[in-house]
Amino acid sequence: MQKEPTPLVTSEVRLVDAAGKTRMLLSIQSGLPIMQLLNEDGTPGLSASLDAAGHGSLKLHNPVAHGPDAAIEIDEKGAHVKFDRSSGSSAYLFLNNAGESGVVLIDNHGKRRVNILVKEDGSSAIERLDDLGKTLP
């Protein structure tokens, strides 16, 4: 008969490579769980976490300076797949809790430029926006 393993109880576990560098981190930060896979320089390559409400997020960090990062997230509004650059540009696909889905494109200045929306009732709209956020003809 096999004996049950003894649980390890701690607030942080670091897995290190042969050189002693932390490559995987499992921890509780401010009471919330996070897992990170770290590059050789110690920067995160992948992060998985839960927020206080239990919403999960998976983030892929780009090792290319100023390259886009990617995230799959659940929040109080719904589900999102998001791509962000440090310059301000962003693109995301969403499905909200009310059943509306869409694509949003944001330029390098952080301004929303395109909305593609499908409402729960099936109606749809494509909007192009100017510098002030007003719909273009």
CATH number at residue 101: 3.30.1120
Same-domain pairing of 57 and 70: no
Asked if pLDDT for residue 125 goes beyond 80, the answer is yes
The per-residue pLDDT of the chain, averaged, comes to 95
The number of folded domains in the chain is 2
Same-domain pairing of 52 and 98: no
Say if CB 46 and CB 38 are below 8 A apart: no
Same-domain pairing of 23 and 73: no
Asked if pLDDT for residue 1 goes beyond 80, the answer is no
Instruction: Give the model's pLDDT for residue 127.
Output: 97
User: Going by C-beta distance under 8 Å and a sequence separation of 6 or more, which residues neighbour residue 116?
Assistant: 102, 103, 104, 124, 125, 126, 127
Q: Does residue 89 belong to any structural domain of this protein?
A: yes
Q: Give residue-wise pLDDT tens across range 17-58.
A: 999 999 999 999 889 999 999 999 999 999 999 999 999 999
Kindly report the pTM of this predicted structure: 0.84
Q: Does residue 100 belong to any structural domain of this protein?
A: yes
From 40, 61, 82, give the residue that closes a domain: 61
